Amino acid sequence: MGAVDPETRTGAAAPFGDRLRAAMDAHGPLAVGVDPHPELLAAWGLPDDPTGLERFALTCAEALGGAVAAVKPQSAFFERHGSRGVAVLERLLAELAAAGTLSVLDVKRGDVGSTMAAYAQAHLLDGAPLAADAVTLSPYLGLGSLRPALDLAASTGRGAFVLALTSNPEGASVQHARTDDGVPVAAAVARGVAQENAAAVRRGALGSVGLVVGATTGDAAARLGLDLPATAAPLLAPGVGAQGAGPAELAAVFGAARRQVLATSSRGVLAAGPRAADVRAAARDLAERCAAALG
C-alpha cells in the first residue's frame, strides 16, 4: 500500500502540518507535556488516584487551552490508573479540541498489520474516544510497519511523530546502528519521513509526519547524516527545561532546521501550578522564549 498524499486527500480538515505551522506562528513553537507524575500530583496537593488525575488534567486544559501551540499528554501516566485514568485522558483530549488547541498524544505505539491499524483507529480516526491531532510512534518494527497509521493520519488531517534520535544514552544502541548500506537507523527513519512529506517539501510547507529528535543530542543528528531540513518534518524535541536544554541551545542543536522545531516541556511549566493562571503564564513565557530563539 503506498502513502496517501495529504495534499490530495478529500477530508475536511487542513493537513496537520499546516495546522501546526499556524499554531506555532500564533503561539510560539512549544508543546506543553501533560505528564501527571505521582510527585507532580503531590506537589499540586492532589491524590494519586483518578480523582486527582482528573483535577490535574482539567486544570491543564484550562491553563493551556488557547494559550500554546500544542499540548502533549503522556499516556503512561493515565494508563497507570487503568480505564478510569484513560477516561480522564479522553476528557482532556475533548477539552483541548473544544479549545482549538492541538493535541499530540504521546503513546509511542508501534506494531504490525491489523494491530497497527487498530492503534491508528484508536487515535487518528474521527470520532474515536481517544482521537488526538497527532500521536507519537515507535519504529522498532520498521518505519514501513507504521503505514496504517501514516495513511489514516493523512486521510483525516492528523499527524504523527516518529521516534528517530533520542537524548537518552541507551538510545544509541539502536538508533546509531547502521543498515547494510551504511546508513544509521535514525537517518534511515528521517529519509523515510522525508518521502512521506514529499508534497509539503515541494510547496515549502511543514509536513504532517514529524520526527522525535531529542533537544540534547548535540551534534549527533549531523554526525549521523540526518538531513533534517530536507525532511520538512516537524521536530518534536523533548528535553527543554527540566531535562537541560534552553531555547538558545535548541537553536544551536537544530541549526537550519530550527523553524521545524516544536519544543516540548512538561515539568518546567507544570511546576508553576497548581493555579491555572500560573501555569498559563509559565507556558506563555517559555513559548515566547522558544519563539525568540527559533523564529
SS3 annotation, 153-219: HHHHCCEEEEEEECCCHHHHHHHCCECCCCCEHHHHHHHHHHHHCHHHHHCCCCCCEEEEECCCCCC
- Shortest distance in whole angstroms from residue 288 CB to its own copies: 27
Helix (H, G, I), strand (E, B) or coil at 62: helix
Which member of 19, 27, 72, 108 binds its own copies (CB under 8 A)?
A: 108
Q: 99 or 128, CB closer to its own copies? A: 128
Count of CA atoms in the C-beta half-sphere (13 A) of 254: 35
Residues numbered 186 to 225 that lie near its own copies (CB under 8 A) are: 188
Stretch of residues binding its own copies (CB under 8 A), selected from 20-28, 53-61, 87-95, 272-280: 87-95
* Binds its own copies by CB under 8 A, chosen from 168, 195, 202, 248: 168
Residue 83 sits in the site that holds its own copies (CB under 8 A): yes
Span interacting with its own copies, options 1-9, 22-30, 140-148, 222-230, rule CB under 8 A: 140-148
Question: Residue 72 or 284: which CB sits closer to its own copies?
Answer: 72
Regarding 166 and contact with its own copies (CB under 8 A), the answer is yes
Cα–Cα distance for residue pair 295/292, rounded to 1 Å: 6
CB of 39 to its own copies, least distance (A): 8
CB-based contact 43:258 (threshold 8 Å): no
Give the whole-angstrom CA distance, residue 129 versus residue 210.
Answer: 23
Q: Is position 159 an interface residue for its own copies (rule: CB under 8 A)?
A: no
* CA end-to-end span of the chain: 37
Binding of residue 155 to its own copies (CB under 8 A): no
Please state, in angstroms and rounded to a whole number, the distance separating the CA atoms of residues 276 and 6.
36
Task: Say whether 72 is catalytic.
Answer: no
From 53-61, 74-82, 249-257, 285-293, give the range in contact with its own copies by CB under 8 A: 74-82
Q: Collect all residues with Cβ–Cβ distance below 8 Å to 121 and sequence separation of at least 6.
A: 128, 152
CA of 198: how far to CAs of 73, 86, 124, 169, 207, in Å? 29, 35, 21, 32, 8
- Report how far residue 79's alpha carbon sits from residue 59's, in angstroms, rounded to the nearest whole number: 19
By the rule CB under 8 A, 142 interacts with its own copies: yes
Q: Does the N-terminal peptide bond of residue 238 adopt cis geometry, omega within 30 degrees of 0?
A: no
Q: For 82, left (φ over 0), alpha (ψ -120 to 50), or beta? A: left
89 binds its own copies, rule: CB under 8 A: yes
Residue of 72, 108, 158, 258 with catalytic role: 108
Least spacing, CB of residue 38 vs its own copies, in Å: 9
Q: Which of 7, 62, 90, 227 binds its own copies (CB under 8 A)?
A: 90
Can residue 100 be called a binding residue for its own copies (CB under 8 A)? no
Binding site for its own copies (CB under 8 A): 35, 37, 74, 76-77, 79-84, 86-87, 89-90, 106, 108-116, 118-119, 121-122, 128-130, 138-145, 163, 166, 168-180, 184-185, 188
Catalytic residues: 108
